Amino acid sequence: MSRYSAWAVFKNGLSGQKSWERAWRDPEPKTHYDIVIVGAGLHGLATAYYLAKNHGLKNIAVVEKGWLGGGNAGRNTTIVRSNYMMPGNRQFYEHSLELWEELSHELNYNVMFSQRSHVSLLHSPAARDAAARRYNTMRLTGSDGELWSLETLKSEIPHLNYDNARFPIIGAAVQKRAGSARHDAVAWGYARAADQLGVDILQNCEVTSVTRDADKATSIETSRGTIKADKIGFAVAGNTSRLWQMAGLGRLPIETHKLQAFVSEPLKPLLDQVVVFGVGGAHFYISQSDKGGMVFGGDLDWYKSYAQRGNLPIVQDVAECATSIMPCLGRVRLLRHWSGVMDMSMDGSAFICKTPINNLYLNAGWNYGGFKASPASGWYFADLIANDRPHDTIAHMDIKRFERGVMIDERGAGPDPKLHG
Amino acid sequence: MIRINCPFCGERDHSEFTYGGDATIVYPALDASIEEWHDAVYLRENIRGMQSETWHHVSGCRMWLVIERDTMTHEIQSVRPAHDAIAKALETEQ
């Protein structure tokens, strides 16, 4: 398949844009693959790509019950950042951000990654102290981070609510290398790049059961027939517990909750950064897409749910947050909103690990943070599957950590999945 | 909006309530093994379908309720007070 380039754009322009090849094949499932990844979301596609690219493996399939970009890949607010502090998370998310910085070149697909700064508003001296600690930790471990005074913030983002706010803004913690990307392009880019390396992407292929022979998973039953596999990886947000039970493995430290996101009608350029507001129970994040829509979101819907549709109290809550920090949005109309189902884990952190079944591997529990994590998640999950041992960076990201009493709880919220926002 | 028929207050919006969690979790004895405690605190069935769960009518009667609700359709099958003695007293009264 040909590479995308300025020359290809020019050449296809001369033939009326009718000569473009399809971006990836639509193959029939084979009866056997060396490796099958369940879930063609960003994590599953990235895993397949890095298995082929970094480890030179062939005969890989990714099975997907719906279509590419139909799950959480297309149901997020596209924010990329690495302002995590806990040991382990720090290195992992930093690596992810480094992968993002080269991703468009790596995939030969413009994922529109825009390092436009991630600005967390601060509302109290205590919050500023906590942010100073976190962002200093980031600086000491090879990342970037800075604290903005109120004057700097006002000059950079003049239209936040600086007067008469319920929670007055006193400054901001900023990561300049953070930003946003176009989520569909990330799915399509990974799919195309993996396909070019020989990966079969099987859409409309829902897993209905997992066949086991003692401590080995031998095959999966799907809506497109039986597929045998030497190694199987699960990378399905939201439905991880169901697959886990299909494999006869019992319960997981995960609950499924839904998270809504919103986009407004397109506006002229208004907001150059990703802005985050979180104080006194409020939680809100907003950026402006390249098309002009304001993209924003807030908290979970607060009760366990597998339904990919949101409830109204959160619409109200998010709208209140929006108008309280950016009153100028008061008369902007909402274009659409959507809801995705999240694996909310017991400590708010993810799992990339081996399982009680020798040839089965787990990638799950991404909570709110799956989008930014997807390149590194695929990178380390591929490394785990290829080498059958966890890389040092993800050694702590296993489901056994609760037995050891070593939680990775960035928020300090305790073992209640809905609180790990 | 989910409408919850509180046995004490009548039918109300779910925004008056706080979600507790899986109502089938039973904590083991204080001196039980660390494995039993681990399972009770951290592991969840995470059912897609009808599940028994606790809700707190925090902006109403402040009673804890056990609700059977479908986690896919949000349909509610039953609502009862979480404390058995209160549930029984309510039944007797009716």
Closest CB from B22, B38, B48 relative to A402: B38
Residues of chain B found within 8 Å of residue A302, distances taken between Cβ atoms: 18-19
Give me the percent of chain A exceeding a pLDDT of 70.
99
CB A122 within 8 A of CB A165: no
A328, with CB counted inside 10 A (0-12, 13-18, 19+), is middle
First-last CA distance in chain B: 29
Q: What is the pTM of this model?
A: 0.96
- Compute the radius of gyration of chain A from its Cα atoms: 22
Cβ-proximal residues to A350 (8 Å cutoff; 6+ apart), any chain: A363, A364, A365, A366, A367, A369, A370, A373, A377, A397
For A26-38, the pLDDT digits (tens) are: 999 999 999 999 9
Q: Which CATH number fits the domain that encloses residue B50?
A: 3.30.2270.10
Q: Which residues contact A397 (CB under 8 A, 6 or more apart)?
A: A88, A92, A349, A350, A351, A352, A353, A390, A408
Sign, CA dihedral A121-A284-A409-A43, equals: negative
What interhelical angle do A370-387 and A183-196 show, nearest 10?
A: 20
* Residue A349 near residue A397, CB atoms below 8 Å: yes
Q: Is A48 helix (H, G, I), strand (E, B) or coil?
A: helix
pLDDT at position A164 over 90: no
pLDDT computed for residue A344 by the predictor? 96
- At A281 the pLDDT is 64
Distance CA B71, CA B69 (A): 6
Pick from A212-216, A269-273, A388-392, B2-6: least confident: A212-216
In 3D space, the residue among A279, A277, A273, A213 whose CA is nearest the CA of residue A248 turns out to be: A213
Residues in chain A: 421
pLDDT reading at A421 higher than 80: no
Query: Of the candidates A255, A307, A311, which has its C-beta nearest B1's C-beta?
Result: A311
Q: How many folded domains does chain B comprise? A: 1
Q: In the prediction, which pLDDT does A395 show?
A: 95
Confidence of residue A165 (pLDDT cuts 50, 70, 90): confident
Q: What is the mean pLDDT of residues A184-192?
A: 97
Amino acid at A412: G
Q: What is the DSSP letter of A150?
A: H
Q: Among the residues of A30-143, which ranges form H helices? A: 42-55, 89-107, 125-140
pLDDT tens, A337-377?
A: 999 999 999 999 999 999 999 999 999 999 988 999 999 99
Chain B contact for A306 (CB, 8 A cutoff): yes
Average pLDDT over residues A115-133: 95
Band of residue A1 on the pLDDT scale cut at 50, 70, 90 = low
What three-state secondary structure class fits A61? strand
Domain that holds residue B49: 3-93
Which of A303, A351, A404 is best to mutate for the B interface (most B CBs within 10 A)? A303
Work out the burial of residue A154: count CB atoms within 10 Å of its CB; fewer than 13 is exposed, 13-18 middle, 19 or more buried: middle
Alpha carbon distance A11, A17 (integer Å): 9
Residue among A398, A418, A106 at smallest CA distance from A259: A418
Asked whether the beta carbons of residue B73 and residue A403 sit closer than 8 angstroms, the reply is no
What dihedral angle (degrees, nearest 10) is formed by the CA atoms of A146, A150, A153, A158?
Answer: 180
Listing DSSP states for B17-53 in one string gives: SEEEEETT-----TTS-HHHHHHHHH-B---SSEEEE
Q: Residue type for A267, please?
A: L
Alpha carbons A74 and A186: distance in angstroms, whole number: 10
The length of chain B is 94
pLDDT in tens, A298-336: 999 999 999 988 999 999 999 999 999 999 999 999 999
Q: Which residues partner with B53 through β-bridges?
A: B22, B67
Any B CB within 8 A of A406 CB: no
pLDDT in tens, B18-66: 999 999 999 999 999 999 999 999 999 999 999 999 999 999 999 999 9
A277: CB partners within 8 A, 6+ apart:
A121, A283, A284, A285, A286, A321, A324, A325
- Taking the C-alpha atoms of residue A200 and residue A59, their distance in angstroms, rounded to an integer, is 8
- How far apart CA A1 and CA A196 sit, in angstroms, is 7
**Nearest neighbour of A307 by CB, restricted to B34, B53, B74:** B74
Question: What pLDDT, in 10s, does the model give residues A401-415?
Answer: 999 999 999 888 899
Q: Are A262 and A369 in contact (CB under 8 A)?
A: no
Residue with tokens 């884990």: A345
CA A222 to CA A229: how far, in whole Å? 13
Q: Which two tokens stand for residue A144?
A: 């970037």
CB of A364 less than 8 A from some CB of B? no
Residues of chain A with Cβ-Cβ distance to B34 below 8 Å are: 403
Which residue of A306, A309, A349 is the best one to mutate when testing the B interface, meaning the one whose CB has the most B CBs within 10 A? A306
At residue B11, does pLDDT exceed 80? yes
Confidence at residue A412, expressed as pLDDT on a 0 to 100 scale = 87
Of A241, A253, A303, the CB nearest to B19: A303
Q: For residue A64, count other CB atoms closer than 10 A to its CB.
A: 25
Query: Does A241 touch chain B if contact means CB atoms closer than 8 Å?
Result: yes
Q: ipTM value, please give it.
A: 0.94
Q: CB distance from A281 to chain B under 8 Å? A: no
Chain A residue nearest residue B18, CA to CA? A302
